[in-house]
Amino acid sequence: MHQILLNNNIMEYKIKTIGVLTSGGDAPGMNAAVRAVTRAAIANNIRVKAIFRGYKGLMDDEVQEFTTQDVSGIIQRGGTILKSARSDEFKTPEGRKRAYNTIQKEQIDALIVIGGDGTFTGARLLAQEYNIPIIGVPGTIDNDLWGTDSTIGYDTALNTIMDCVDKLRDTGTSHERLFLVEVMGRDAGFLTLNAAIAAGAEAAIIPERATLEEQLEAAIGQGRRKHKNSGIVLVQEHAIPGGAQAVAKIIEEAHPEYDTRVTILGHLQRGGSPSAFDRILASRFGCAAVQALLDEQRSIMVGLQNGEVIYVPLTKAIKEKKDIKDDKWQALQVLSL
Ligand code: ATP
């Protein structure tokens, strides 16, 4: 809420216009969040300005006012109708000044940014430098943000990976092959570990747990695997330099008896129509973000904890590290025996 000084009295004025943008990697469900923000704002007599191409569009004034009709028929669409972009210029004070010029020109009183930790880092700087109320909505397939059990897009990506692994298993079993499947996740292993459990994989190689040697031994060690000659190992893209290809090389040298194949799922993991879970989550988050502004919140992220929508300080969401659940890691070890 901006403050103005009138005759020495501080008067608060209501937020009249919200800007909304999507930034960083696209994630299924971002459209459902844009729809929810737009409709919840308009329902509260707040105008909505859609900002295209993330922070790049904010700097370049790629802005269009949205009506409720502009978000019709998008809840089921993957990607983001607002487009997304990565911008190094926004990381500089000069870039953020350009963004602020647009905010002033467009008379935007508050921003709702949908994205991951990079998006929130930029938002926090902009909020600090120009005293703008900003609310973060977690939208990333990586689910790596502290303070929320799930991020928009994560459930859909998880289901996509599970479906792909199910199909690979059919051919893996028929040909007695060991498939190494590379999964996205930036620095986090949530997608990899959970997809491994859901698809009944033999192992997951993730950055958060054990050394590579230990994980490989668990995955393909002679004693443990002697009754299996096919299998699926999920490898988080940055678990080791070179990802699944590098793991395959190590296995081929140490265990030439395995017929190893590498599948890199790549951008397949980002696409597709959002799951019911992601659509509902995005709808709740979008409405909650608007409500947060009405409640005079600023520099917070909306999150989900134990089924409830909550507010978390942006600073904490960015700085704190979310942990892999021990019981999941243990479950994978036991269930892959
Ligand atoms: P995902 O988790 O899907 O990759 P993300 O939001 O983390 O999403 P990034 O590419 O890291 O994606 O960040 C999106 C944008 O946020 C960047 O292109 C940049 O404009 C801005 N941003 C990222 N880090 C910073 C930073 N340290 N300072 C200012 N702006 C930043």
Q: What is the pLDDT of residues 177-235, one digit of tens each?
A: 889 999 999 999 999 999 999 999 988 999 998 777 777 776 666 544 555 666 899 99
For 127-145, the pLDDT digits (tens) are 999 999 999 999 999 999 9
pTM for the structure as a whole:
0.93
Rounded Cα distance between 55 and 271, Å, is 22
Q: Please give the pLDDT value at position 229.
A: 62
Q: How far is the CA of 91 from the centre of ligand 1 (A)?
A: 8
268 exposure class (CB count in 10 Å sphere: 0-12, 13-18, 19+): middle
Q: Please give the pLDDT value at position 14.
A: 85
Ligand 1 atom showing the smallest separation from residue 144 Cα = 2
Please work out whether the CB of residue 143 comes within 6 Å of at least one atom of ligand 1: no
Q: Could you tell me the strand order of the sheet in which 178-183 lies?
A: 203-205, 231-236, 178-183, 260-264
Ligand 1 atom showing the smallest separation from residue 56 Cα = 20
Q: How far is the CA of 315 from the centre of ligand 1 (A)?
A: 14
Catalytic residues: 142
Rounded Cα distance between 132 and 130, Å, is 6
CA angle centred on 207, ends 203 and 209, rounded to 5°:
65
Q: How far is the CA of 85 from the centre of ligand 1 (A)?
A: 9
Ligand 1 atom showing the smallest separation from residue 116 Cα = 6
Ligand 1 atom showing the smallest separation from residue 23 Cα = 14
Please work out whether the CB of residue 125 comes within 6 Å of at least one atom of ligand 1: yes
Cβ atoms within 10 Å of 193's Cβ, excluding its own: 26
Find, among 126, 153, 158, the residue nearest to 137 by Cα.
153
Nearest residue (by CA) to ligand 1, atom 2, is: 116
Rounded Cα distance between 80 and 271, Å, is 10
Please work out whether the CB of residue 83 comes within 6 Å of at least one atom of ligand 1: no
Q: Please give the pLDDT value at position 6.
A: 42
Q: Which residues of the chain have pLDDT under 70?
A: 1-13, 218-230
Contacts of 68 (CB under 8 A, 6+ apart): 38, 39, 42
Please work out whether the CB of residue 116 comes within 6 Å of at least one atom of ligand 1: yes
Three-class secondary structure of residue 232 per DSSP: strand
Rounded Cα distance between 316 and 120, Å, is 11
- Looking from the CA of 270 toward its CB, the CA atoms found within 13 Å total 15
Please work out whether the CB of residue 119 comes within 6 Å of at least one atom of ligand 1: yes
For a mutational test of ligand 1's pocket, the pick from 59, 119, 137, 314, i.e. the residue with the most ligand atoms closer than 8 A to its C-beta, is 119
Please work out whether the CB of residue 140 comes within 6 Å of at least one atom of ligand 1: yes
Nearest residue (by CA) to ligand 1, atom 31, is: 122
Q: Please give the pLDDT value at position 334.
A: 86
Please work out whether the CB of residue 275 comes within 6 Å of at least one atom of ligand 1: no
Please work out whether the CB of residue 269 comes within 6 Å of at least one atom of ligand 1: no
Q: How far is the CA of 63 from the centre of ligand 1 (A)?
A: 20
Q: How far is the CA of 163 from the centre of ligand 1 (A)?
A: 29
Q: What is the DSSP string of 246-288?
A: HHHHHHHHH-TTS-EEEEE-GGGGG-SPPPHHHHHHHHHHHHH
Please work out whether the CB of residue 303 comes within 6 Å of at least one atom of ligand 1: no
Q: How far is the CA of 150 from the centre of ligand 1 (A)?
A: 19
Q: How far is the CA of 56 from the centre of ligand 1 (A)?
A: 11
